Amino acid sequence: MAIAGIPKSMLSAQVVEFDKPYKIHKIPTPESLGPHDVLLRVAVASLCHTDGMVSAGIMGTKLPCIGSHEGAGTVVHLGSSVTHFKKGDRVMAGLPRNRCGHCPDCLGDENYRQYCPNLAGHVGVTLDGAFAEYMIVDGRESSSIPDEVSFETAAPLACAGCTVWRGILQTELKKGETVAIVGAGGGLGHLGCQFAKALGLMVVGIDAREEGLALARDSGADVIIDARQEKGKVVNEVMKVTNGMGADATVNVSDNDQAAALACAVTKMHGTMIQIAQPTEVSVPFHELVFRDVRIKGSLICSRLEAERMLKVVAEHKISVKTNIFFGLREIPKLIELAHSGKMQGKAVVIVDEEEMNKMPEMKTFSS
């Protein structure tokens, strides 16, 4: 049964065949919600590296599936058990949907609940996502957007922001310590630079593109190092700025085949390397683990409470997302072309609902 006031059909961009372009067409609008579901009118959706993995069939997605797991929009309808949102609220989409509630991760520390192995899926990965005029999210996993944060900023934070934010938190570094970020000038990396600075850390930004080095510098990295040099030179440059010790911890957001090894090499003995990037295989020389005791930890997206803290930091510290803006879902092919060009700085976003964006001219927007 159609939801009152909601159109029966909506424009969407679906993966209908692996390794093929999105199919942009009208499909039925969601008509029924579970008790914890929230229906959003999507304002902005963003492209993430994982979208390419979905399109390639790597994530086990059942087709057809609406793309994008980075979305933000306005609440238009609520499931029967949702109490902390109301119609008209501005919301950053949470990725997980329908956790089981009884596994060790669901019953354990809040910052591990996103690892529930029994959840229904993730929006835009195995369930319909944000490349549409409307999307369903789980109200228990989604976050209210502060007034100071625009939709344009919030959408990329849903995954890129939440992922690198948790990576920085997982280093467990204290104010004044040094974090190196490999891939510092990418979509995640430039946010990681800003998050780390907001937490009082010294940031060594490592990247292998001119565009990336420039963005890392603009994002507040204290030291910029070109990864196109021979590996030993990169390590030596890190040693020079860390009193010969190496970074206290390193976050790797580059899926280059050599990135994980470099991330370990620039990390101090007994330090931690947080692996966020998702290459097919992560390869690290044994001596980094055995003789230098570098510990490697993987990290996924953050939990809802961690996401809320992130959004507060974004508002308070005026964290900016470097965005490349496209208007309307039919512009997604151009968005994909730019993302694959190797020349893009930051994140590619699509304005799905210009009307909703135009309702807030007084909003202080921090996106670039």
Does the pLDDT at position 241 exceed 80? yes
What pLDDT does 5 receive?
86
For position 121, what pLDDT does the model report?
Answer: 97
Give the pLDDT of residue 361.
39
- Find the helix packing angle between 189-198 and 162-170, rounded to 10°: 50
At 69-94, the pLDDT tens digits run 999 999 999 999 999 999 999 999 99
Of residues 304 and 367, more confidence is placed in 304
d(C-alpha 351, C-alpha 368), whole Å: 14
Instruction: Say what the pLDDT of residue 363 is.
Output: 39
Average pLDDT score over the chain:
95
pLDDT in tens, 188-222: 999 999 999 999 999 999 999 999 999 999 999 99
Q: Would you tell me how many other CB atoms lie within 10 Å of the CB of residue 130?
A: 32
At residue 364 the predicted structure's pLDDT band, cuts being 50, 70 and 90, is very low
Per-position DSSP letters for 155-212, written without gaps between them? HHIIIIIHHHHHHHHHTT--TT-EEEEETTTSTTHHHHHHHHHHTT-EEEEEESSHHH
Nearest-Å Rg of the Cα atoms of the chain is 20
Please report how the helices 304-317 and 189-198 are oriented relative to each other, as an axis angle in degrees rounded to 10.
80
Rounded-to-integer distance, Cα 90 and Cα 128, Å = 20
Extract the tokens encoding 232: 């030993």
Residue 269 pLDDT exceeds 90: yes
pTM for the model: 0.94
pLDDT at 356 exceeding the cut of 90: no
Question: What is the per-residue pLDDT across 91-110, written as a single tens digit (0 to 9) for each?
Answer: 999 999 999 999 999 999 99
Question: pLDDT > 70: what percent of the chain?
Answer: 97
* Bridge partners of residue 273, in order along the sequence: 250, 296
pLDDT of amino acid 2: 74
pLDDT digits (tens, 9 = 90+) for 145-187: 999 999 999 999 999 999 999 999 999 999 999 999 999 999 9
The SS3 assignment for 275 reads strand
Please state, for a pLDDT cut of 90, what percent of the chain lies above it: 92
| Per-residue pLDDT tens digits for 281-313 | 999 999 999 999 999 999 999 999 999 999 999
Distances (CA, A) of 127 to 63, 69, 135, 141: 9, 9, 10, 15
Query: Is pLDDT of 362 > 70?
Result: no
Q: What is the pLDDT of residue 342?
A: 83
pLDDT for residue 359: 65
Query: Are the CB atoms for 196 and 130 separated by under 8 Å?
Result: no
